[in-house]
Amino acid sequence: MRVISCKNYEQMSKIAAGFIKTLVQAKPEAVLGLATGSTPEGLYKELVSAYQNGELDFSQVHTVNLDEYEGLGPQHEQSYRYFMNDKLFKHINVKEENTYVPDGLAKNIEAMLADYEALIDSFGGVDLQLLGLGHDGHIGFNEPCDHFEQKTHRVKLNSITLEANKRFFANIDEVPKYAYTQGIGSIMKAKQIVMIVSGADKKEILHKVLYGPVCPEVPASILQFHKNVIVIADEKALA
Ligand code: GLP
C-alpha cells in the first residue's frame, strides 16, 4: 500500500482527483468505481471544475457505484443514486446510461445483485475504485463480520453505521436498516484502488486498516492484500 499524507481535506481531494484525471485523460473509456459519503464530495467538485475547464471528457466513461440503501429510489434525497446525480453526474458529460448504482427499489433482489456482479465482471473489474472508510472499517457497506463477503449482496447495517449516517436523516429511525453493496471480492477485482480518509475521528480505524491484522472484523484491512492501493489521507486521520 502506498500512503500519501496530505495537509488537509482540500489537498486530499485535489490529489485524489488527480489520479482520476490522469486515468480519464490516458484512457477516455475508463471504468470508474465510485463512492458516496462526505469524504468524496471535495474530489467530485474537483472533477466538475476540471470538466468545466475543458480538461476532462467523460463521454466514454462508465461508472459503477459501490452501494445503495434498500428501499430508497433515485428521487429520495438520501439515496446514493440521488447523491451521485447531484454531486457529479448532472454536472459532467457522462451518459446517464453508462452510470450504475444498485437499484434500491429492486423487486427481484437476488437477480439485481447477480446482475450487478455480472456487470463488474463484464468490465473485467473497474479501472479505478474510489473508496471512503466507515468508522467501523467498512468499505462500501461491507460491515465487520466473521468472513469476507465475495459478491454484491444485501447487508444489515450495524449500529455504528446507523449512528454515523443518521446525520443525513431526520432521525435514526429513518435510516434504512439494510443496504445493497459490492462485496469485498467485487472491490478487490479493481485494477487500482484509491482510498481517501479525512479527520481525527477516522484515525484509530485507519491505523487498524493500515497496520493491523487482515481480518473481516476490519473489512478494509483486506486492502493490504491488493497489489495497487493508494491511501490518501489528511494529517488528522494519519495522526
Ligand atoms: C457510508 C458509505 C461508504 C462511505 C462511508 C464513509 O456508509 N456506504 O461508502 O465510505 O460510509 O462515509 P463518510 O465519508 O461520510 O465518512
Tens digit of pLDDT for each residue in 75-132?
A: 999 999 999 999 999 999 999 999 999 999 999 999 999 999 999 999 999 999 999 9
- Could you read off the pLDDT of 21-43 as tens digits, one per residue? 999 999 999 999 999 999 999 99
pLDDT at residue 191, rounded to an integer: 98
Retrieve residue 16's grid coordinates.
Answer: 485524489
pLDDT at 2: 97
Could you tell me the end-to-end alpha-carbon distance of the chain, in angstroms, rounded to an integer?
18
| Active site (annotated) includes residue 67 | yes
Q: How far apart are CA 205 and CA 218, in angstroms?
A: 8
Name the residue with the closest Cα to ligand 1, atom 3: 140
Across the range 9-26, mean pLDDT stands at 98
Ligand 1 atom nearest to CA at 37: 15
Q: What is the pLDDT of residues 41-50, one digit of tens each?
A: 999 999 999 9
Phi, psi for 67 (deg, rounded to 5): -160, 170
| Residue 138 falls in the annotated catalytic set | yes
Q: What is the mean pLDDT of residues 212-219?
A: 98
What pLDDT, on the 0 to 100 scale, is given for residue 76? 96
User: Is 143 an annotated catalytic residue?
Assistant: yes
The CA-based diameter of the chain, rounded to the nearest angstrom, is 47
The pLDDT assigned to 67 comes to 98
Dihedral sign from CA coordinates of 145, 149, 155, 160: positive
Tens digit of each residue's pLDDT (9 = 90 or more) over 120-143: 999 999 999 999 999 999 999 999
Question: Residue 168 phi/psi, 5° resolution?
Answer: -90, -10
DSSP 201: G
Q: Which of 138, 163, 198, 234 to mutate to test the pocket of ligand 1 (most atoms within 8 A of CB)?
A: 138
pLDDT band, very low/low/confident/very high, at 70 (cuts 50, 70, 90): very high
Where does residue 208 rank: exposed (0-12), middle (13-18), buried (19+ CB within 10 A)? middle
- pLDDT grade for 55, boundaries at 50, 70 and 90: very high
Give residue 124's pLDDT.
94
Predicted TM-score of the model (pTM): 0.96
> How does the average pLDDT of the chain come out, rounded?
97
Q: What is the pLDDT at residue 132?
A: 98
